[in-house]
Amino acid sequence: MAAMPAAHPSRPALRDRAIEAWLPLARHLANRYAGRGEPVDDLLQTAVVGLIKAVDKFDPAFGTDFAGYAIPTVIGEIKRHFRDRTWAVRVPRRLQELRLAITGANTTLAHTLGRSPTVADIAGHLGISEEDVLEGLEGARAYTATSLSTPVGTDGATELGETLGGEDHEYALAEARLALGPALASLDERERKILILRFYGNLTQTEIAEQIGVSQMHVSRLISRALAKLRGRLGDDTI
C-alpha cells in the first residue's frame, strides 16, 4: 500500500481486501483484552482502527512482514483505548500500563496456579517489586468511579449524592461575624475590654471586676449596656 500512489484507482479495493483478510488477527488481539471492564465490541472496533492504520502505513522497507508490524500497532491502539477513554480519574500513564500488566498477570497466574495469586506471585511474574504491585492496585481504583446518581438505601429512592455532606450551621453566623468587627469598634475601650474578657477570655464577672477595679454589679451593667449597643448595630436579638 505504501508503494502505491494515493490516487491509484486500484488502491481502495486493495486496501479493503487487505483489511478484510487481516480481520481475524484484529479479532484475536481484541479478545486477548476481554474481561478487563470493556465491551468486546468496543475492543474489536479499536483493534480494527489499529489494523487500518497498519494497512495504511506498512512499508516492506521496514524490514519486517506485515504481521510483525500490525500486531504491535493494533495492541498499541487497544492500550491507548484503555489509557485514554476508560479511566474515571486521570492517573499517570505508568500506573495505567501497570494496571493492565497486573490484570493480565492475575489472569495467567490464576490459571497456572489454580488459585488467586498473591502480591508476591504477581511481582515475581512481572519482575517488579511488591511495592510496585501494590501501587498499581491502588491506582486501579481510579479505573471506575461510582456515580453520584447511584441509588442507595433499601428502597433505592435516594441517590448517593444526596447522602454526602450536610447543612453547615456556621453559614448562618457568617454574616453576623463579618458585621461584628465594626460593631465592636463602635463600643468604647472599656466596654470592648469587658466583652473580650467575658466571652473570649471566659472570665467571670467577679474576675473582670477585679481586673478593671469596679464592682461585680457594675460589670454586669456594663456588659448589658454593651450587648444592647451591639444588638442595635447588628439588628440581631440573639446577642
CA separation for the pair 169, 36 (Å, rounded): 45
What average pLDDT does the segment 215-227 reach? 92
Other CB atoms closer than 10 Å to residue 198's CB: what's the count? 19
Nearest in space to 187 (alpha carbons), one of 151, 228, 142, 127: 228
Maximum Cα–Cα distance across the chain: 110
CA separation for the pair 81, 75 (Å, rounded): 10
Q: Which three cell numbers stand for residue 201?
A: 477570655
CA separation for the pair 187, 204 (Å, rounded): 20
Among the ranges given (83-92, 102-111, 171-180, 193-202), the one the predictor scored with the smallest mean pLDDT: 83-92
Determine the pLDDT at residue 230.
85
Determine the pLDDT at residue 218.
93
How many distinct helices (H) and strands (E) make up the chain?
12, 2
- SS (HEC) of 84-106: HHCCCCCCCHHHHHHHHHHHHHH
Determine the pLDDT at residue 33.
83
Residue 168 vs residue 178, higher pLDDT? 178
The backbone region for 156, taken as left when phi is positive above 0, alpha when psi lies in -120 to 50, beta otherwise, is left
Assign 159 to helix, strand or coil.
strand
Determine the pLDDT at residue 139.
64
Pairing, β 151-152 against β 158-159 = antiparallel
Is 70 exceeded by the pLDDT of residue 137? yes
- Is pTM beyond 0.75 here? no
Nearest in space to 31 (alpha carbons), one of 49, 44, 45: 44
Burial class (CB in 10 A: 0-12, 13-18, 19+), 174: exposed
What would the pLDDT profile of 52-106 be if each residue is shown by its tens digit?
A: 999 888 888 878 888 888 999 999 888 888 766 654 445 567 777 787 788 888 8
Is 60 exceeded by the pLDDT of residue 147? no
Nearest in space to 226 (alpha carbons), one of 180, 192, 181: 192
Assign 152 to helix, strand or coil.
strand
> Which domains, ranges and CATH numbers included, belong to the chain?
1-86 (1.10.1740.10), 89-144 (1.10.10.10), 172-234 (1.10.10.10)
How far does CA 25 lie from the centroid of its chain?
Answer: 35
